[in-house]
Amino acid sequence: MLFDLGLQFIMNNIIKPLEYTGSFLRVLDQTLLPEQEIYYEYSSYQEVILAIQKMIIRGAPAIGLAGAWACCLAGQKIKNKTELLKAFEEIAQARPTAVNLAKAVNRLKNTCLSLPDLELEANKMFEEDFQMCQQMASYGLTVLPNKSEYKFLTHCNTGSLATAGIGTALGIFKLLALQSKKRLMVYACETRPYLQGARLTAWELHKLNIPVTLLPDSAAAHLLKTEKIDAVFVGADRIVANGDTANKIGTYSLALAALVHKTPFYIVAPSTSIDLSLASGEEIEIEERPKEELIYFQGKQIAPSQINCFNPAFDITPHNLITAFITEKGICSPEKLKNLFQNYV
C-alpha cells in the first residue's frame, strides 16, 4: 500500500516541460526556473528550434520529443513534401550533440508524412519515453547494495524536465526514496554555466521532498574523497558503439574522480540516446556555446568581455571509466552495449 502511495505521489507530481495540444506546443521555460514558472505556446516549428537553441527546452530526451512535435507543427503548415523535409532538416540541426533529436526527426521522416501520421508517431514516442523512464528506474534499483541509507552524486538535470516521465538518473532516486522508502541524500553538482543542477535538479527533488545537497562542480572530487558516496548516476546525450558517452560538461571529471575513489559510475539513458553509427567518442560533435555565457552571469558582467573563452556544452567520458549503462532494455557493460542494442537502434 505504501509502495502504491509513493508511486502515486511521484506520478501526480510529474512536471510537464512539453505538451502538444494538436494546434500548438506548450513549453515550460527552463531558463527561468526556479524563480518563475512561465509557459509559452509555440505554433511554428521555427519557434521550437529557437527554444531548443536558447535552452528553454533542454535535456536529450525532451529535445528529441520537442523535435518530433516541431515536425508536426511544420506538417500543419507545409503541404509540399520537399519543403516539409527541408523543415525537418532544420529541426534536426537545432543542437548537434544529443542524438535523440536527429533520431526523432528520422523516425518521423519514415512515416508517410501526413499530419495524422506525424502526430501519431510523435505521441507514440512520448508514451515510449514515459515507459522507458520507469523501466530504467526499476533496473537502476537492482545495481544498488541492500542498505537503509544511500548517498549519490549526480550532474546536470536528468529528471521530468528532461524527459516525458520521471527521468533517467533522477528517476532512480525518485523510485528509491518514494516507492522503496529508503533514506537517501542526492548530491547535485551546480552544473556551470547554465546551472541545471542548482536551478532544475535541486528544484525537482525538493518539490518531492527528496533530500538534496547542492555543491559547486569544483567540489565533486573532494566530496568523493571525503564522503562515502554509493554511486554516481548521470544521463547521456549520445552513447556510441564502443560505449564512449557524451554528457554535460563536467561529467568526464566526475568519472575520473569516481575511478580514483572506487565509486561506481553509471550512465542512465534510453536507447534513443544510443548511436551505434559512430565507432568512438572522437566522432561526436561537441556543441560550443557562446562566450557570453561565461562573461555574463544573470545579466551582470563577471569577466573582461575581450578575453577568449572555452565553453563546450558537453564532454566525452571514455568507456573504460563507466561501470555500466542502465537502459530500458537492461544493464550492460560498455563491451556488451553493441550486442544488446544492435537489433533495436
What is the contact surface with ligand MRU in residues (CB under 6 A)?
58-61, 98, 156, 158, 162-163, 168, 196, 235-237, 247-248, 313
* Smallest distance, ligand MRU to C-beta of residue 104, A: 13
Catalytic residue among 129, 217, 230, 237: 237
Residue 117 annotated among the catalytic residues of the structure: no
* Smallest distance, ligand MRU to C-beta of residue 83, A: 29
Closer residue to ligand MRU (CB): 88 or 194 = 194
Closer residue to ligand MRU (CB): 196 or 263 = 196
Distance CA 58, CA 66 (A): 9
> Which residue bears the cell 564532454?
315
Closer residue to ligand MRU (CB): 165 or 334 = 165
Closer residue to ligand MRU (CB): 61 or 75 = 61
For 36-56, the three-class secondary structure string (H helix, E strand, C coil) is: CCCEEEECCHHHHHHHHHCCC
Q: Which run of H or of E encompasses 26?
A: strand 25-28
Number of helices and strands in the chain (H, E): 12, 16
> Which residue bears the cell 494538436?
22
* Smallest distance, ligand MRU to C-beta of residue 191, A: 8
Residue 327 C-alpha from the chain's centroid: 13
Closer residue to ligand MRU (CB): 118 or 246 = 246
* Smallest distance, ligand MRU to C-beta of residue 80, A: 32
Which residue number is nearest to ligand MRU in terms of Cβ? 235
* Smallest distance, ligand MRU to C-beta of residue 323, A: 17
* Smallest distance, ligand MRU to C-beta of residue 110, A: 24
**DSSP-based three-state secondary structure for 186:** strand
Closer residue to ligand MRU (CB): 97 or 118 = 97
Catalytic residues: 237
